[in-house]
Structure 1
């Protein structure tokens, strides 16, 4: 009886802990995000991922990865955001939790949209929306956001599709003012139709009257109204709306919107012929654009790198344990075979059996080693092509002598340079390396040039031949 009571008490505590983690990863995270405190939001997720691991709450870990990716996307760190989404996507819980799976797919699409990989973004939004409908998820806000972002993905491709998906966004969640604001923008700048612009701005006012908007939505609406009046030539009204939007954006710390507003105010003063004011706000715009300091991001990156290192360390430990069990099983099996064989025929063929067994054991070990090396080679190539965070650690496990020799030449090589060395060792071209790491081929060439200098490789020496000869 006492055991039963303890069991139910443990279950209750576990549920309380998971509920607390979920609350922090949603309510508290969203509150920090709305205030523009993305670094704090990311660090909150790091803490909750650790807490989730301690109690074996995989959903909390996967959700934490997904939320970190949102903060990184807001900070413009798209490659790191995609890495965390990949971590979430590779967890078994994500395939079981359909809502989480849809949000992860949508997060990947959002990064592609920010990187202007529009066709890729559309494909991922299609996949996310298909999953949403397949499992009949009931989240109008999520569906509305996906339709809005899919609409934005079509902007440079197909104007008709932009309108189609903005109307779908409204239909999926009529109480959300954002799709109406987007339509107002469309008619203001793409359609050049101020009557339609005004129509949708009034729709926004009606929606906001029934459903009080967030401070962010209010600031975006005021900024849109400012653009509308600037387009009409009513510059004083435009400045009034921009000023109200700016005050709200400062309160909620939306740095991106503050910069946009400074730029819009600067342009408006320029249209009014006030060059002094225009210059003043343009300078403010430039300062805001450069306001994210390296020191601030370094603190965030430190926490995130620590989290990745922990994840990779766990992976290496699990891999070692797995290999130990397999090796032990093989050894035990071989010993049993050897003992049984000796039992049935030890008197007549003892010497012959021992010799034959030794030969066969050596051949098996050699074949197994070759097979493991081939499998490892293919695995590492796949990890490189996916830009997996485990690529570097796996390469070092299989080919430790390569990094040993490189670090002997220059002990100051950092992980990014070692990763480039590994890809060159695999004979990947500059285009392949650029595609795998989401950078331009020119960037890869610059990195190769710097790597030559750090390793003291002469210009006359072929970099690929030098690396393969290590």
Structure 2
């Protein structure tokens, strides 16, 4: 009997360890179930294993899906740096895959990561580029579902920018897009439900309670289950009951939403729910219970703020890297042109007269290029100054593009600098006076001076050193 077992053991081992595209696809379906349940840690473990197997058999679609699932799981955990890492790993795999919508999905997730650190305009650029790509998709149902996903994300960005008219416009546009489809699938229904909830939340913020209720009921009638992620619907019901002063009903809704958000590990929504339920308890006179939830809110919000600060530098670096790609392409082209020019110079070296003329022409071109470069630098400086004066949200991003070494040098001294502090340092670097900073950021001059003093302590700037000169020196290190 033992001989029989040992004889067939290698065959059993082989049968158990055999990897096929079908087994990988089944495991990817399991990953989707984990996503719906919010079990992101298990999702990460599973997809790391799937990725190894997909690499083993060189299954391009499997690798792409595993990379995307890993990026999605880390994004849901607000670990945007890890999410972006796996998104970047996806890019080389596109050439080996026939999945026409994967690149669009990648860009959508990039935009979610940008939105996570409030870089809304960069997120919108990604999404509007995706809309152009989506129009070229061949499969009509895929095109419709993908466009719905993109429009939902565009609407969410406008909502968080508090541009509620734009958010409502894109919510209604999703509904119009989906009406074109003859048959609704799970992806389309997901987009439709998300659009209805977006419209409901928009109406709530406009204090149009009855309209918000209509959209929530419409969302609930969409035949799609979100599992633990359906806390969004309960949260909105809680807000409607709260607006109608039905505080006990609001508390019941919030409690249910908190349980689901906890299971889904959506800590940002959980933080928001803690704040909402704390206020409802206070309105019912249950001050102690309200205070307990307020403490939970403060604790979780502080943790999320630390995570946001950690993500800021990595995501800005990613953005700068993306901006450099076209410039690198131009540099390679220039090197190629220079190489061709060198070969030509060898050929015509015997023609002295032409060589001299050519040399003069090259010098003129170089002089012209230098002038153009100086003009561009001056223009970039003026553009950054104007963004600062307008208190524009794009100021921080554009500043990092023009002065890429400044923030990293500051981070070497104090890695925990917040985005508001980085912006303040940028204004000092640009030589804005205390009065100017107060005017353009809408604060009192004494508040600006207080921030200067705090910044000196954090960055260990000697009291006898000019803070403006110190900031200038940080860029040239």
TM-score of the aligned structures, taking structure 2 as reference length: 0.56
Structure 1 counterpart of 2:112: 70
Structure 1 residues 316, 15: CA separation in 2 closer, same or farther (over 3 Å shift)?
Answer: farther
Q: Within the alignment, does 1:138 sit opposite 2:140 as a pair?
A: no
* Contact 1:25-1:63 within 8 A present in 2 as well: no
Structure 2 counterpart of 1:253: 265
Residue 181 of structure 1 is aligned with which of 197, 205, 226? 197
In 1, Cα distance between the equivalents of 2:87 and 2:468? 52
Structure 2 counterpart of 1:7: none
* Contact 2:168-2:198 within 8 A present in 1 as well: no
Matched positions, count: 367
In 2, Cα distance between the equivalents of 1:25 and 1:198? 39
TM-score of the aligned structures, taking structure 1 as reference length: 0.57
Structure 2 counterpart of 1:264: 276
Structure 1 residues 144, 270: CA separation in 2 closer, same or farther (over 3 Å shift)?
Answer: same
Structure 1 residues 328, 173: CA separation in 2 closer, same or farther (over 3 Å shift)?
Answer: closer
* Contact 2:64-2:93 within 8 A present in 1 as well: no
Structure 2 counterpart of 1:43: 82
| Higher RCO (CA-CA < 8 Å; seq separation 6+) | 2
Residue 281 of structure 1 is aligned with which of 293, 296, 303? 293
In 1, Cα distance between the equivalents of 2:89 and 2:216? 45
Superposed displacement of residue 166, structure 1: 4.3
Superposed displacement of residue 413, structure 1: 12
1:355-394 to structure 2, matched below 5 A, reads: 363-364=360-361, 366-381=363-378, 385=383, 387=398, 391-392=402-403
Superposed displacement of residue 334, structure 1: 3.3
RMSD, aligned α-carbons: 5.6
Structure 1 residues 52, 154: CA separation in 2 closer, same or farther (over 3 Å shift)?
Answer: closer
Deviations 1:279-327 (A, max 9, x none): 2212222222211254x45765676577678779988876765555444
Q: Within the alignment, does 1:202 sit opposite 2:217 as a pair?
A: yes
In 2, Cα distance between the equivalents of 1:47 and 1:150? 23
SS of the aligned residue for 1:261 comes to helix
1:10-409 to structure 2, matched below 5 A, reads: 18-33=60-75, 36-39=76-79, 42-50=81-89, 52-53=91-92, 67-74=109-116, 76-78=117-119, 82=122, 103-105=127-129, 137-139=143-145, 141-142=148-149, 144-145=151-152, 148-149=155-156, 152=159, 166-173=171-178, 175=189, 176-185=192-201, 190=206, 192-194=208-210, 197-207=212-222, 210-216=223-229, 218-292=230-304, 294=306, 296=307, 300=311, 322-341=333-352, 363-364=360-361, 366-381=363-378, 385=383, 387=398, 391-392=402-403
1:439-454 to structure 2, matched below 5 A, reads: 440=441
Structure 1 residues 45, 192: CA separation in 2 closer, same or farther (over 3 Å shift)?
Answer: closer
Deviations 1:135-168 (A, max 9, x none): 884335236516744884897676xx77665444
Deviations 1:408-432 (A, max 9, x none): xxx9899x89x969985xxx989xx
* Contact 1:265-1:281 within 8 A present in 2 as well: yes
Quick check: which has more Rg, 1 or 2?
1
Structure 1 residues 284, 48: CA separation in 2 closer, same or farther (over 3 Å shift)?
Answer: closer
Superposed displacement of residue 223, structure 1: 1.3
In 2, Cα distance between the equivalents of 1:167 and 1:308? 31
Structure 1 residues 300, 269: CA separation in 2 closer, same or farther (over 3 Å shift)?
Answer: closer
Superposed displacement of residue 48, structure 1: 4.6
Structure 1 residues 57, 63: CA separation in 2 closer, same or farther (over 3 Å shift)?
Answer: farther
Superposed displacement of residue 339, structure 1: 0.6
Superposed displacement of residue 392, structure 1: 4.1
- Runs (5+) with no aligned partner, structure 1: 1-11, 90-100, 107-127, 342-352, 397-402
* Contact 1:260-1:285 within 8 A present in 2 as well: yes
In 1, Cα distance between the equivalents of 2:167 and 2:309? 38
In 2, Cα distance between the equivalents of 1:261 and 1:316? 45
Superposed displacement of residue 221, structure 1: 0.9
Deviations 1:178-225 (A, max 9, x none): 34334545565645554x554444333322xx3213432x10111122
In 2, Cα distance between the equivalents of 1:203 and 1:211? 12
* Contact 1:21-1:52 within 8 A present in 2 as well: no
SS of the aligned residue for 2:285 comes to coil
